[in-house]
Chain A
Amino acid sequence: MNVFVTVKQTPDPNSTPKLGDDFRLVRDGVELVMDQGDEYGVEEGLQLAEKTGGSVTVVSMGPEKANDAIRKALSMGAEGGILITDPGLAGSDALGTARAIAAAVKDKGFDILICGTESFDGSTGMVPPQIAEILGIPHLSFAKKLEVEGNKVTVQRQTADGYVMLEAETPVVVTVTGGLNEPRYPTLKGIMGAKSKPVENVDAAALGLDAGHVGEGGALVKVAGVDPAPERAAGEVITDEGQSGERVAAMLAELKVI
């Protein structure tokens, strides 16, 4: 099975995000990592490839630095990568990003393209279904379990009160949630081996992208301004010395909960 996985380079979840004057996330001086959600994607892809005798190729769009996310996936066991990088793509919105990724994978004959459900910084989960839409193929989202038999792909898709079982045929885009596997750590051998694995660099021109449809100029949603949200008034912090039960009960009584 020819598995593709998208990986995004995002700020370390333990860092405090900052916005620049252009309302874009500040990436300079911030530790970047492979998006947590994508680690599950890479792991799921590797397991599928191992089971079905195939390989995993990872795709990332971003500045040169995004290569680190690709390298990490390669050291986990992916066979190759595609880095979509071009200053003209900076500032792309979800649709612009989806257009670029779709263009990069469309002739690669993949069976499954695995993505994270939503990225740490974008957090809208719009890119994966839009890739599927642009490619004219189905997507199966919020998968907490993924199974493949021949060309049939089934997922357990998370819902508000349980799950639905969905079934489609390849090729298909699947978005995975955390918790469906335990992402492996790269081994030393994996890290050494990753160095000689092929990573293809492509730009907007190579992908035949229309400059009016990608990058900042092509973005269809713009940020007009950012304001601080109304703060919650600071409350009281006490240290438990055996009195906190009483304190909470008193508060609950005051609020007429009990």
Chain B
Amino acid sequence: MAEIWVHVEGYEGDVAPITLEILSKARTLGADVVAVAMGSVTAHNARLGEYGATKVLSDARSEHDEYFVLPAVEVFAALARERKPAAILFGGSYDGRDIATRVAARLGVGMAAFATEVSLEGEDVKVDVPIFGATLISHKVFAGDRPRIVTVRPKAFAAEASGGGAPAVEEVSPELGDATRRVKVLETKVEASEGPKLEEAAVVVTGGRGMGGPENFPILQDLAGLLGGAVGATRAVVDAGWVPYAMQVGQTGKTVKPNVYIAAGVSGAMQHTVGMKGSKNIISINKDEEAPIFKLSDLGIVGDVHKVLPQIIDAVKAKKGG
């Protein structure tokens, strides 16, 4: 049977949600699902079976935590040359993208980025990639040698435990030459934010440039607080330094799929909507009735954020109180 490999990413001392999402999808493809774990995340190998991995190729060496991506690229390239998987799936995350891209170049094989659908026919992989702010779906096929390299957009698939047992763990340790130790990880810094995490929150309140300035972001925090949600931002806003990059929603930021997404002073550029279009309910406030965000809103309010947001807060407080 064809083998599909899944890169295991760590996040906050656990397996990253994106890895569980990809494993959940991979196990439906009719292939052997092999997880490839490196560095400290190998502590969680047993968990990968619950999501569909039958086997884990595990390399616990600390180089993977001390040096940036090059050791991982080397391990993937060495193992793939030897074992010839049909495909390797990575998260469309910061690390996933960096590793996948170099592995594809090193092996001289094709790569498709940000897939939201993956299928396997025989040994061949086809993927769907949303383009132009997810208004169009591009169906991609591969040519040339295998493995096919694919990065998967976060939240494209639901992470669902399959009740699978512990996977077989095979320790691997391809040689890591000096060249893999050329980029040192000096320090890791977490910029803490209040309340629930943006990617997980059931309500996201996002501010765009129309908020006018960083001094107007606390009102978004107030609303998010009332609704048990998290605050997001557009790239225009993070680039301007109003709030940290970690709050960015969109193509280069986070993909969110909350129950309710409230966009305040957001124009609705393609690169933004690709990260929030999957929200169940979208409410937007914009003073320009032509703003593209209204096209995908369930409720659009043509108005000034400085007037509308306080009204919403008052009305929500009144409803909650009564």
Decide: A130 near B102, CB < 8 A? Known: A141-B94, A161-B191, A237-B297: yes
List of B residues within 8 angstroms of A252 by Cβ: 227, 260, 316, 319
Decide: A130 near B105, CB < 8 A? Known: A159-B94, A162-B190, A249-B319: yes
Give chain B interface residues in 274-305, CB to chain A under 8 Å.
277, 281-283, 285, 289, 294-304
Q: How far apart are the CA atoms of A142 and B101 in the complex, in Å?
A: 14
Q: How far apart are the CA atoms of A249 and B320 in the complex, in Å?
A: 9
Q: How far apart are the CA atoms of A237 and B251 in the complex, in Å?
A: 26
Interface size of B as a range: 35 or more
23 A-B contact pairs sorted by A residue (CB < 8 Å): A124-B114, A126-B101, A138-B182, A157-B94, A160-B94, A160-B254, A161-B191, A161-B246, A163-B191, A164-B68, A168-B184, A178-B235, A220-B110, A223-B138, A227-B139, A229-B137, A232-B277, A232-B296, A235-B282, A235-B300, A245-B314, A247-B299, A258-B316
List of A residues within 8 angstroms of B254 by Cβ: 160
CB atoms of B190 and A179 under 8 A apart: no
List of A residues within 8 angstroms of B251 by Cβ: 118, 123
Q: How far apart are the CA atoms of A223 and B245 in the complex, in Å?
A: 32
CB atoms of A236 and B300 under 8 A apart: yes
Give chain A interface residues in 63-97, CB to chain B under 8 Å.
93-95
CB atoms of B301 and A224 under 8 A apart: no
Report if A228 contacts B (CB, 8 A): yes
CB atoms of B187 and A165 under 8 A apart: yes
Partner of B101, one of A23, A125, A236, A251: A125
Lowest 5 A-B CB distances belong to which pairs? Answer: A240-B303, A245-B311, A220-B110, A179-B239, A249-B315
Report if A242 contacts B (CB, 8 A): yes
CB atoms of A237 and B143 under 8 A apart: no
List of B residues within 8 angstroms of A237 by Cβ: 289, 294, 297, 299-302
Partner of A257, one of B187, B239, B259, B299: B259
Report if A2 contacts B (CB, 8 A): no
Give chain B interface residues in 105-128, CB to chain A under 8 Å.
105-106, 108-114, 126
Report if B168 contacts A (CB, 8 A): no
CB atoms of A222 and B136 under 8 A apart: no
CB atoms of B189 and A162 under 8 A apart: yes
List of B residues within 8 angstroms of A225 by Cβ: 138-139
Among A141, A160, A220, A225, the one with the most B-chain Cβ atoms within 10 Å of its Cβ is A160
Report if B130 contacts A (CB, 8 A): yes
CB atoms of B140 and A222 under 8 A apart: yes
Report if A109 contacts B (CB, 8 A): no
Partner of B132, one of A17, A118, A219: A17
Closest to B260 in A: A257
Interface of chain A, main secondary structure? mixed
CB atoms of B299 and A224 under 8 A apart: no
Report if B163 contacts A (CB, 8 A): no
Q: How far apart are the CA atoms of A254 and B175 in the complex, in Å?
A: 59
List of A residues within 8 angstroms of B244 by Cβ: 162
Q: How far apart are the CA atoms of A242 and B130 in the complex, in Å?
A: 38
Give chain A interface residues in 1-30, CB to chain B under 8 Å.
13, 17, 19, 23
Closest to B70 in A: A138
CB atoms of B126 and A224 under 8 A apart: yes
Q: How far apart are the CA atoms of A19 and B144 in the complex, in Å?
A: 25
List of B residues within 8 angstroms of A166 by Cβ: 68, 183-186
Partner of A234, one of B106, B259, B295, B304: B295
Report if A253 contacts B (CB, 8 A): yes
CB atoms of B299 and A238 under 8 A apart: yes
Closest to A244 in B: B301
Report if A47 contacts B (CB, 8 A): no
Q: How far apart are the CA atoms of A47 and B114 in the complex, in Å?
A: 33
Report if B188 contacts A (CB, 8 A): yes
Closest to B310 in A: A245
Tell me the smallest distance from the CB of B40 to a CB of chain A, in Å: 14
Partner of B320, one of A95, A130, A165, A258: A258
Report if B240 contacts A (CB, 8 A): yes
Give chain B interface residues in 69-84, CB to chain A under 8 Å.
70, 73
List of A residues within 8 angstroms of B137 by Cβ: 226-229
Q: How far apart are the CA atoms of A200 and B202 in the complex, in Å?
A: 54
Binary contact readout A126-157 vs B (1 if CB under 8 angstroms, 0 otherwise)? 10011011101011111010000000001001
List of A residues within 8 angstroms of B299 by Cβ: 235-238, 247-248, 251
Report if A50 contacts B (CB, 8 A): no
